[in-house]
Amino acid sequence: MTDPIADYLTRLRNAIKANHRVVEIPASNLKKEITKVLFDKGYILNYKFEDATNQQGNIKIALKYNPETKQSAITKLERISTPGLRSYVNKGTMPRVMNGLGIAILSTSKGVITDKEARNLNVGGEVLCFVY
């Protein structure tokens, strides 16, 4: 697999379109950090890391839906930096997703954080994806 982050986002997108409650994704350290950010910002209901002894393990993600309208908390997941075209930003060129209503997830020297946290810490990094 050439782009595991794109696979992660696609599995989430497909599960949301099929109205699944839980999606299972192969784990990696970067995917675990992205999952933690999505949970902290309220885009997913819960998550669980399942570690296998000889394998990489899995991430089980419980998706969040509005009880009345059955709409997902995640409207769109968009991959920005790809293996063929990396996208790096500094504090001055930090993107704003939907004028601050969404988040951009960045991989920085301080870890995987959102665009708002990166502005506060005065760091730049690689823009992994937009979520809104």
Span 9-33, pLDDT tens digits: 999 999 999 999 999 999 999 999 9
d(CA 68, CA 70): 6
Q: How far is CA 37 from each of CA 43, 79, 104, 131, rounded to the nearest angstrom? A: 9, 15, 10, 11
What residue segments make up the domains of the chain, in order of their start?
4-131
Q: Is the pLDDT of residue 52 over 80?
A: no
**What stretches of 4-131 adopt beta strand conformation (E)?**
22-26, 44-50, 58-63, 77-79, 88-89, 103-108, 111-114, 125-131
Q: What's the pTM?
A: 0.94
Q: Is the pLDDT of residue 81 over 80?
A: yes
Which conformational region is residue 36 in: left (phi greater than 0), alpha (psi within -120 to 50 degrees), or beta? alpha
Residue with tokens 């809104």: 132
Predicted confidence band of residue 132 (pLDDT cuts 50, 70, 90): very high
Report the topology of domain 4-131.
Dna Ligase; domain 1 (3.30.1490)
